[in-house]
Amino acid sequence: MREGEMLLAAVNGIILLLLLSGRLRGAAANIAAAAGSGIVLLLHLGLEGPRWEMIPLYAMILLPLSSLRGVRRRRRKRVRLSIGAAALLYAAGAILLPIALPVFVFEPLAGPYRVGTATYVWTDVSRRQVHADEAGKRRKLLVQFWYPAEAKASGPAAPYLQHPHLFAQALGGHEGVPALLFDSMRLVRTRALEHAPLSGAQARYPVIVYSHGNRGWSGQSTFLTEQLASQGYIVVGIEHAGGTNVTMFPDGEVMPFYADAGTTLDNGAFDRLTDDVWVPDVKFVLDRLEELDGRKRTGGGIGEPGEARAGLRSSSAASDSSAGQGEMAGAAERFGGRLDLERAGIVGYSLGGAAAAQLLLGDDRLRAGIDMDGGLYGSLRAPRGFDRPFMLMSADRTFRAEAMSDEALAQIGASRSEYDDTVGELLERQAQAAAGGNYRLTLPNTDHTSFSDAPLYSPLLSAASGLDARGAHEVIRVYTVAFFDKYLKGEKVEQPALEAGTEGDYKLIQGP
């Protein structure tokens, strides 16, 4: 609950207890209590804004004006107790509802930098947009940056969602629940400042690409991307349009989710989706980042940095009006010449994690990568591990027999044996993930959603499921930062687990 909501709940709770105990007597006292509650309510509405989850608490302002005290005098003791119990139950429900569906808050930034964010539209003119009706429609993406901002940057915090009502409708539809359950997300704010100036503390910053999961979105792991930016990284989040919950472009075009991998147990379908959509999207964004930095590919390596605008002009994609030249120029104003692409890495969640692994196996522009609970989908395999630093993070519940119930399997027409075979193949693909001195980190009391912001949407439900949302996020943050600090920045990392296997609240293994 927000501060004003907690204050209102406390005031109304005290008034209710005074009413039930008979200590709030006389018309003047009741009117004063109602007025006090009303003042707190007005302050909350003015400073924080209303939301439907608070309606039962709003209604409690009427308690002092009710005839509860009069009823207590006229009714028998059993009736009075029943009325009191009902009032207490109502109050408990009124308080639990906004706690169960909160306006959640991200943890304070742990790094020395403030964080800015900016989003651009980039178009790959060499590829057709997925599921496009027109043959000439090109692949268009939203690309969101999080970056170290100037210490004196000011302005309101960026919203968590740019189009919250559209997001809620799409998510509710996919999950089969009312969109109203996600309404409060319109009030969630991040720790980043929109379009804040890039910090001048360093001439160039290492880059980390973030790739989300299937039916996710670029801000799906904001708990992590903002923290990385606060540690001195420029984080580039790719929104894989068509594979998101829903995407709305600035021109109003809406692209829904397409279940290209189907709803059956088919590793091959996810292999194709990784190879055909996720990996090419990341490669395209890497190309654009090189253009922003004024670099061109030279064989297997990267040329020397040059003038970013010249790089933009030399690009046939950027010279095409459909490629969003204005957006590229806007990104060049902020990031041109400031990207240290010789220190570039990637972190992906779920299907984005699969893309991260594929890029490490097939693109030499990335020095290190992390796969957060993603199956190793895609055409490239790692039977002897990865030749570059790699970490596979896993939830302890993702690839277990009980991860899918018999009822859920029946809904997609699959049997338990088919599920076991599918999971068995994925586990076999992961068998050598830590070979060559790389890492596997397994987190207890987590499931597949733990690597995203989703457990924050309803902490009570997460806790009831035995998940430790904030604890998992902290472990993920610490080890992600430590990993990239070591392998991108070359820093000596004070994390013994990155040098030797440990077991404790989590299990991290370093391969031979």
8 A C-beta contact, residue 511 and residue 434: yes
Confidence band (pLDDT; 50, 70, 90) for 117?
Answer: very high
Q: How far apart are the C-alpha atoms of 375 and 398, rounded to whole Å?
A: 10
**4, 31, 107: which is closest to 453 by C-alpha?**
107
Mean pLDDT highest for which of 296-300, 305-309, 355-359?
355-359
Confidence band (pLDDT; 50, 70, 90) for 392?
Answer: very high
Beta bridge partners of 121: 142
Give the DSSP per-residue string, 111-160. SSSEEEEEEEEEEEEEEEPTT-SSTT-EEEEEEEEEEEE-TT--SPEEES
**pLDDT digits 0-9 by tens, 24-41:** 878 888 889 999 999 999
Q: How far apart are the C-alpha atoms of 388 and 48, rounded to whole Å?
A: 48
174 burial type by CB count under 10 A (0-12 exposed, 13-18 middle, 19+ buried): middle
Q: How far apart are the C-alpha atoms of 44 and 245, rounded to whole Å?
A: 32
Q: Which CATH architecture has domain 114-510?
A: 3-Layer(aba) Sandwich (3.40)
Confidence band (pLDDT; 50, 70, 90) for 315?
Answer: very low
Tokens 């041109």 correspond to: 336
**235, 206, 231: which is closest to 218 by C-alpha?**
235
- pLDDT value at residue 318: 35
Tokens 């430590």 correspond to: 482
**CB 30: neighbour CB atoms within 10 A?**
20
Average pLDDT value over all residues in the chain: 87
- pLDDT at 167 exceeding the cut of 80: yes
- pLDDT at 456 exceeding the cut of 80: yes
Q: How far apart are the C-alpha atoms of 226 and 329, rounded to whole Å?
A: 24
Q: How far apart are the C-alpha atoms of 291 and 350, rounded to whole Å?
A: 28
- pLDDT value at residue 496: 55
Q: How far apart are the C-alpha atoms of 117 and 327, rounded to whole Å?
A: 14
Q: What percent of the chain has pLDDT over 70?
A: 88
Give the DSSP per-residue string, 192-214. EEETPPBPSSSS-EEEEEEE--T
- pLDDT value at residue 243: 95
**451, 433, 387, 432: which is closest to 211 by C-alpha?**
451
Confidence band (pLDDT; 50, 70, 90) for 512?
Answer: confident
- pLDDT value at residue 428: 92
Q: Please give the structure tokens belonging to residue 353.
A: 């994690």
- pLDDT value at residue 307: 39
Listed range (5-14, 74-83, 98-107, 337-346) with the worst mean pLDDT: 74-83
3-state helix, strand, coil in the chain (%, to 5): 45, 20, 35
Q: How far apart are the C-alpha atoms of 313 and 462, rounded to whole Å?
A: 50
Residue type, 170: A
- pLDDT value at residue 328: 78
Rg, Å, the chain Cα set: 26
Kind and range of the H or E run holding 408: helix 406-411
Q: How far apart are the C-alpha atoms of 510 and 512, rounded to whole Å?
A: 7
390 SS3 class = strand
Listed range (115-124, 164-173, 413-422) with the worst mean pLDDT: 413-422
- pLDDT at 376 exceeding the cut of 70: yes
- pLDDT at 53 exceeding the cut of 60: yes
- pLDDT at 302 exceeding the cut of 50: no
**CB 86: neighbour CB atoms within 10 A?**
10
- pLDDT at 279 exceeding the cut of 70: yes
Residue type, 196: A
Length of the chain: 512
**pLDDT digits 0-9 by tens, 66-80:** 754 454 455 566 776
Residue type, 496: P
Confidence band (pLDDT; 50, 70, 90) for 49?
Answer: very high
- pLDDT at 17 exceeding the cut of 60: yes
What residue spans define the domains of the chain?
3-100, 114-510
- pLDDT value at residue 296: 52
Q: How far apart are the C-alpha atoms of 283 and 236, rounded to whole Å?
A: 13
* Main-chain phi, psi angles of 298, to 5 degrees: -125, 95
